[in-house]
Chain A
Amino acid sequence: MVMVDEKVKYTNGNRGKAPTDDGKGYLKVEELNAWYGRTLALKNVNLDIRSQLITAIIGPSGCGKSTFIRCLNRLHEVCSGTKVTGHVWLDGKDIYDKDIDPVQIRRRIGMVFQKPSPFPTMTIFDNVAAGLRLTRFWSRRGELEEIVERSLQHAALWDEVKDKLNQSGTSLSGGQQQRLCIARAIAVEPEIILLDEPCSALDPVATLKIEDLMRNLAQDYTIIIVTHNMQQAARVSDMTAFMLMDEDHAGALVEYGATSDLFSNPKDKRTEDYITGRFG
């Protein structure tokens, strides 16, 4: 397991600033283990997620990538029979601490799923506002309208839907629905956005739109994206983590480093085999 080098450089940067350890949305994963019932799914993962960068997690299917990011926003424990040990430090506090409310963690760490899932009974406006409406007792209409417009603009969807905010959320195309879900996640103003294979259900054009969107979003949020598409990871991310299933069928982190370094000069042989397509 490789810890990130302090002097790492990245070529994807349109930000041009050095990584900061005390930036908003800095996650430090320590000795994370996750179980489904009695089966160990994740073994001893240690990782430092830098703030305001895009980190990609790649690996063959079944290696625990999705399990890993679901542990980051405490969604893994929602399934019955699951267990998590280890620490995930968010801005100095362990999110798995006994007195931390998981609901608050999920507000600070948002998630977008593989299958675009706008709430079918709500309009586009209500979908984006759902995260706000359902956490407060009452909201002013004007305030909601502002936030909805801002989120849709951030998600590069405003121009396409500004005239049909009252239509059902499911009346959009797949790529638009996914951007709607991203807008919905942004509306609650998280610090970190987790994306679990967001483009795997979309066509290439929609995929490119979302990749552009991610680069814009990375200016304000920390982004962690799980993808089985290596080229996407190479295109989009600043840092990449490669995970693999161990001999005991538990996922483990193999290598983690700057994307350009990992793809051109992988340090582990298994990483090199995966990247050159010898398996996976």
Chain B
Amino acid sequence: MLQRGYTRRKWISRLMLVLSGLATTIAILMLALVLGYTLVQGISYINLGFLTHASAPVGQVGGGMRNEIIGTIILVLLGSIIALPIGLMTGIFLAEFAGPRTAAAVRFAADILAGVPSIVVGVFAYAILVRPLHSYSALSAGVALAIIMIPIIARTAEESLRLVPNHMREAALALGITRWRAVLGVIVPGALTGIVTGIMLGVARIAGETAPLIFTALGSNFGFQSLLKPIGALPLQIYNYALSPYSDWKQQAWAGAFILVLLVLGISILVRWLSRRKGSR
């Protein structure tokens, strides 16, 4: 009787193993399909010209997405410049200076902000910057992206700072250093790897955001004109080209998608590589 029970258990265990293996395969297959399909569709249109030429009218051969790639870089930089000080200081406040109840409240607020749909952030930036300035602008897009990025940086910075062992803080304070100099001079450098990881994850996230850009950057047929003028960006261009009826634009959309995926993938791989290197040291 024991043997019959054992056989049944063995087969149930095998079934569960197969099912979970199948589920994992499906999950990884999704990733592989997205990457593979984008690669196959887009790579035929990638050449140096794609990266260095401005977009061309329909039907004309040789259009590129140079301005949009530059636009994405500018917007990511703008968003990071705004989000970094705010996010980092918030993280430092949460980890080092906040009392338990204040910290819980701020953390809750940050988590809620992280969950706000990006299209809502875009509409918000439209209301506070685009309407008063009477113009779509790179600045408003930067602000929208910064709002998305701040909770990511703040939470990862806080987690990394918490990982710095307490005896380091005490050793710094015992030298007669003021609290804020101890934090900036000893503790933040000690948590730097984690903080940089958080920043790069934030960058990877906002590089691909499209919805906020629809309401703020709008897209532009010209290159970068000024921070207060509309600007083109890769996700926007992909959106516009993919929905157009022209086949060569559609091909360019695939190529743009491929570049974008490569960008985000590249940042994520860089983050993993850096954290593994620093971790093993």
Q: How many A-B residue pairs lie within 8 Å, measured between CB atoms?
A: 74
**Residues in A whose Cβ lies below 8 Å from that of B99:** 80
Rounded to whole Å, the gap between the CB of B188 and the closest CB of chain A is: 9
Q: Are A133 and B175 in contact (CB under 8 A)?
A: no
How far apart are the CA atoms of A190 and B176 in the complex, in Å?
A: 10
Interface of chain B residues 15 through 64 with chain A (CB within 8 A):
none
How far apart are the CA atoms of A204 and B208 in the complex, in Å?
A: 59
* Contact with B173, one of A106, A119, A185 (Cβ below 8 angstroms): A106
Q: Are B181 and A134 in contact (CB under 8 A)?
A: yes
Q: List 9 A-B contacts (CB under 8 A).
A: A73-B174, A78-B170, A78-B173, A117-B168, A119-B171, A122-B189, A130-B172, A131-B176, A134-B186
User: Given A115-B167, A121-B190, A130-B186, A135 and B181 touching (CB < 8 A)?
Assistant: yes
Interface of chain B residues 146 through 173 with chain A (CB within 8 A):
165, 167-168, 170-173
**Residues in A whose Cβ lies below 8 Å from that of B168:** 117, 119-120
B177 interface residue per 8 A CB criterion: yes
B117 interface residue per 8 A CB criterion: no
**Residues in A whose Cβ lies below 8 Å from that of B181:** 134-135
Rounded to whole Å, the gap between the CB of B51 and the closest CB of chain A is: 38
* Contact with B175, one of A80, A104, A120, A131 (Cβ below 8 angstroms): A131
B185 interface residue per 8 A CB criterion: yes
Chain A interface residues toward B at CB < 8 A: 73, 75, 78, 80, 103-108, 110-111, 113, 115, 117, 119-122, 130-131, 133-135, 181, 184-185, 188, 190
User: Given A119-B190, A134-B182, A185 and B174 touching (CB < 8 A)?
Assistant: yes
**Residues in B whose Cβ lies below 8 Å from that of A80:** 99-100
B192 interface residue per 8 A CB criterion: yes
Q: Are A121 and B173 in contact (CB under 8 A)?
A: no
Q: Are B170 and A106 in contact (CB under 8 A)?
A: no
Q: Are A106 and B176 in contact (CB under 8 A)?
A: yes
Q: Are A103 and B176 in contact (CB under 8 A)?
A: yes
User: Given A115-B167, A121-B192, A134 and B185 touching (CB < 8 A)?
Assistant: yes
Besides the contacts A121-B186, A131-B177, what 14 more A-B pairs have beta carbons closer than 8 Å? A75-B173, A75-B174, A80-B100, A103-B178, A104-B176, A106-B175, A107-B176, A119-B189, A120-B168, A120-B190, A130-B172, A133-B185, A134-B182, A135-B175
How far apart are the CA atoms of A129 and B176 in the complex, in Å?
A: 13
